Amino acid sequence: MLPDRREFLIQSAGALAAFALIPEPAAALSVPQGRALRVALIGAGRQGRAILAELQKIDAVEVAAVCDVLPGRVTAGIERAPGAEGFADHRALLDRRADIEAIIVATPTHLHRAIAEDAIAARRHVYCEAPLASTVADCRAIEAAAATAATVFQAGFHGRSNPLYRRTWSLMRAGSLRDIVSVSARHHQKTSWRFPASDRTLERAANWRLDPEVSIGLAGELGAQQFDAIHWLINAWPERIDGAGSIRLWDDGRTVPDTITARLHFPGGIVLDYGATLANSYGDAHEVIHGSNAAVRLAWSNGWLFKESDAPTEGWEVYATRQQFYSEEGIALVADATQLAAQGRLRESIALPHPSLYYALADFVRSCTEGATVACSATDGARATIVGILMNQAIVTGSAVDVPASG
Amino acid sequence: MPAGAALSPVVTTAEPRLWPLRLATAAMGTRFELVLGGDDPERLRPVGEAAIEIIEDSHRRLSRFAPDSLVSHINRTGFARPVRLDGDMFDLFADALAVHHASDGAFDIAVAGGRGGTVLLDEGARTIRFTREDVAIDLGAIAKGHALDLAVRVLREHGVPFALLHGGTSSVAAIGAPPGMTGWRIALGRSAGARSIALRDAALSVSGPAGPRDRDGRALRPGHIVDPRTGESVPGAHLIAVTGPSARLADAWSTAITVLGRRPAALGPAWTTYRIEAD
């Protein structure tokens, strides 16, 4: 039931009101309309296959090649992209398929740089998965290569493309949260982070996330994605990071911590409290930004705004429907409520109609075919990745790390 | 959706080191559980987690209720234009439509708009589309079996010698058999004297018009299998169990046979059907 304005005002007095953030339906569906784009995927592991599943939904994309060093993954990739040609070596792909305009890099993180540089040199558009690289030097190199490119380079950080995060960005620019008080973010999973290899000689390569030589740990592999969204939303970057990590569950000989906690110190005293674990899944991945007028909780497919009772009424609350959130009776915010109400669709689910990854890929396609502004540049991606790398360093060494001003 | 049978994968042979691992996840409104055997537990866990991941991925893709699932995407856009499918999804829809035809419409994934014949597959283009705007599909009666088939494929690819997987105890898949046994022993029904079968390299699905029951046999929910041809609920309190080579086909056939009330002639010799009367 859509509460009337008076009911809303009565119920919200004296209580923290929760508002579900709802993107505009047109933005949420987000179908690129330009000409067809011929794409190749390099790295057909789990993330690569997730990318293929989303690309299948975009009619303006033809996946023309799938490349992976493991033949089984090429086969599995082609299964998801009928008609694609298989490759074991990305250089052979770039040499032999001049018709392919765009490359999506979804290999293990430490292998991104070489592929991204080769693809840029071969004048292809590049979408490079987050995190961008596993060392600061590699991040800088990718950034430098992208800066000289005539083609599109998009770093695979989703927040800037996600309609819920964009809605939040607009609300924050309009002052809905007012002064930022603090930020917290979590990424909780229950999984060993070990991947099966087809034979033992490949076990170390398959488990690069647990190889301290190349892994940037939970901070880099999980955190960087969230840090970019937060940097963008609050328009600030941390100056110093301290943290700690330990093995809470997966005591199987690994040295990469399965549980980390860290603090990112921003200018003006704002602190981002971060935690990630592979030992408990409660809470999943989410970020909370507390402002003096409201808090926003973002969870990639859903988002809510919790308004303080003493915050001024902004108008949009009138168009909100209620939603239960913990013990609060919250209110769902609908962007174009009048139109939706006329269509009888106000009660439709508030979650996004596509996974977050879809929106980043749709933005990339639009940048390639329609010249749209790149959603997340190499510089933005490098900045978030470097924060992840430095956080991992702070955790591994036990000493606070200063973040260079340029990122 | 199949009703819960009492699944009792109780195995009493020794050698506990040969089955060290149980994994579980919540998906498709129920609990999936995997019991994995093998002599290398360190290797078994990542393999089991890969199987769990494919079950969770199937949930994300097949849920009719999650707006960001592939099924929701198809339901939104399947009339406006053909939707591209990957090989596994195409095979799933092909199986669903095959059982629809072979059961004379007793099994139908189309749950709104015109039923029967409103969902079209294009094998050459590997797409799905709807012939009417008001069509919606629901894979609830076949999704658990599909997820189990994909999970079994992952476990076999990695050489897991024996395993039992189930979704909500009503969809079951077995790889091999526990050492010294001819198959995984599974009770059909909850009573002490319930018939038990040995499942080996095969799948089982159990459906019943009476809906799921608690341990004392009380109905947890009213029956929810509807004859798609008439729109009427199927009467009765019995269970239909089907075993055969594919979990998703077993799911589809157990539902179809519950609706039909008999084993159809179209069902080949690879399939065994059981009717279990109420206690």
Split at pLDDT 50, 70, 90, the class of A9 is: very low
CB A282 within 8 A of CB A308: no
CB distance A99 to A62 below 8 Å: no
The span from the CA of B112 to the CA of B61, in Å, is 19
Residue range A259-279: mean pLDDT, rounded:
98
List of chain B residues whose C-beta atoms are within 8 Å of the C-beta of residue A192 = 45-46, 49
Calculate the average pLDDT of chain A.
Answer: 88
Residues of B with a Cβ under 8 Å from any A Cβ are: 42-43, 45-47, 49-50, 53, 60-61, 65-68, 70, 72-73, 76, 81, 83-88, 126, 157-158
Q: Do A16 and A41 sit in the same domain of this protein?
A: no
Q: What is the pTM of this model?
A: 0.90
The DSSP bridge partners found for residue B194 are none
Asked if residue A120 is part of any domain, the answer here is yes
The helix-helix angle for B87-102 and B247-260 (nearest 10°) equals 20
- Residue A298 belongs to a domain: yes
A153-156 vs A125-129, strand pairing mode = parallel
Q: Chain B interface, mutation test: which of A47, A57, A357, most B Cβ atoms within 10 Å?
A: A57
CA distance A391 to A244: 9
Q: Give CA–CA dist A291/A107, Å, rounded.
A: 38
Residue A225 shares a structural domain with residue A259: yes
With vertex at residue B75, the alpha carbon angle to CA B70 and CA B81, rounded to the nearest 5 degrees, is: 95
Short-list B29, B115, B116, CA closest to B64: B29
Domain enclosing residue A93, as ranges: 31-159
Reduce the DSSP state of residue A163 to 3 states and report it.
helix
Task: Count other Cβ atoms within 10 Å, centred on residue B222.
Answer: 9
A372 inside domain: no
> What phi and psi, each to the nearest 5 degrees, are found at residue A271?
-120, 135
Strand intervals (E) in B88-126:
110-112, 119-122
Residues A283 and A335 in one domain: yes
- Asked if residue A216 and residue A343 are part of one domain, the reply reads yes
- A330 token code pair: 């919250």
A7-16 mean pLDDT: 44
Based on the fold, state whether residues A189 and A322 are members of the same structural domain. Answer: yes
A214 and A174 co-located in one domain: yes
B190 and B169 in contact (C-beta within 8 Å)?
Answer: no
Q: Rounded to an integer, what distance in angstroms lies between the CA atom of residue A243 and that of residue A237?
A: 17
Q: Sort out which chain A residues have CB atoms less than 8 A from B61's CB and list them.
A: 53
Count of beta carbons in the 10 Å neighbourhood of residue A53: 20
Closest-CA distance, A72 to chain B, in angstroms, reads 10
**For B191-215, how does the pLDDT look when each residue is reduced to its tens digit (9 = 90+)?**
777 888 999 999 999 998 876 666 5
**B168: distance to nearest CA of chain A, Å?**
21
End residue of a domain, out of A132, A159, A186:
A159
Per CB-CB distance under 8 Å, the chain B contacts of A59 are: 81, 84
Contact B84 A52 (CB under 8 A): no
The confidence band for B229, taking pLDDT boundaries of 50, 70 and 90, is confident
Residues A180, A159: Cα–Cα separation, whole Å: 19
Using CB atoms, pick whichever of A29, A351, A358 lies closest to residue B66: A351
State the pLDDT at residue A127.
98
Exposed (0-12), middle (13-18) or buried (19+): which is A382, by Cβ within 10 Å? buried
A308 — pLDDT class (breaks 50, 70, 90): confident
Residue B18 has pLDDT above 60, yes or no: no
Distance CA(A222)–CA(A202), nearest Å, equals 23
- How high is the pLDDT of residue A344? 46
Joined tokens for residue A151: 């083609």
**Could you tell me if A194 lies within 8 Å of chain B, comparing CB atoms?**
yes
In chain A, pLDDT over 70 holds for what percent of residues? 84
Q: What are the structure tokens assigned to B250, written together?
A: 């077993």
Q: Do B84 and A53 touch (CB under 8 A)?
A: no
Task: List strand residue ranges (DSSP E) for A73-189, in order.
Answer: 85-87, 102-105, 125-129, 153-156, 180-188
The pLDDT tens digits for B103-162 are: 999 999 998 766 667 999 999 999 999 999 999 999 999 999 999 999 999 999 999 999
Contact (Cβ atoms closer than 8 angstroms) between residue B248 and residue B92: yes
Q: What confidence score (pLDDT) does residue B220 get?
A: 61
* Residue A371 placed within a domain: no
Residues A11 and A51 in one domain: no
DSSP codes joined into one string, A344-360:
T-TTS--S-SS-HHHHH
CB atoms within 10 A of CB A379: 16
**Are A352 and B67 an interchain contact pair (Cβ–Cβ within 8 Å)?**
yes
Taking residues B27-56, what's their average pLDDT? Answer: 91
Q: Which of A119, A137, A159 is the last residue of a domain?
A: A159
Residues in chain B within 8 Å Cβ distance of A355: 60, 68
Residues A124 and A63 occupy one common structural domain? yes
**Which 3 state secondary structure label does DSSP give B150?**
helix
The pLDDT score that the predictor gives to residue A322 is: 55
Under an 8 A CB cutoff, do B67 and A348 touch? yes
Report how far residue A61's alpha carbon sits from residue A38's, in angstroms, rounded to the nearest whole number: 6
Q: What is the mean pLDDT of residues A205-232?
A: 97
Tokens of B47: 């393999």
In this structure, how many other beta carbons lie within 10 angstroms of the beta carbon of residue A144? Answer: 14
* Inside any domain, residue A121: yes
Number of domains observed in the structure of chain A = 2
Encoded amino acid at A241, one letter? I
> How many helices (DSSP H) and strands (DSSP E) are in chain A?
14, 17
pLDDT tens track for A176-213: 999 999 999 999 999 999 998 877 888 889 999 999 99
Contacts of B73 in chain A (CB under 8 A): 57, 353-354
Query: Which residues, 6 or more positions from A261, have their beta carbon under 8 angstroms from its beta carbon?
Result: A243, A244, A245, A273, A274, A275
Q: Is A369 inside any structural domain?
A: no
pLDDT averaged over chain B?
87
State how far the Cα of A385 lies from the Cα of A391, in Å rounded to an integer. 10
Instruction: Indicate which CATH number applies to the domain containing A207.
Output: 3.30.360.10
pLDDT band at residue B9 using 50, 70 and 90 as cut-offs: very low
Preferred mutation among B84, B129, B150 to probe A, highest tally of A CBs within 10 A: B84
State the burial class of residue A103 (Cβ atoms within 10 Å of its Cβ: 0-12, 13-18, 19+): buried
- Determine how β-strand A17-20 pairs with β-strand A328-333: parallel
CB A335 within 8 A of CB A348: no
A55-59, A222-226, A234-238: least confident range: A55-59
Computed over its alpha carbons, how large is the radius of gyration of chain B?
19
Lateral strand order in the sheet of B119-122: B83-84, B127-130, B119-122
Instruction: Reduce the DSSP state of residue B136 to 3 states and report it.
Output: strand
Are the beta carbons of A345 and A38 closer than 8 angstroms? no
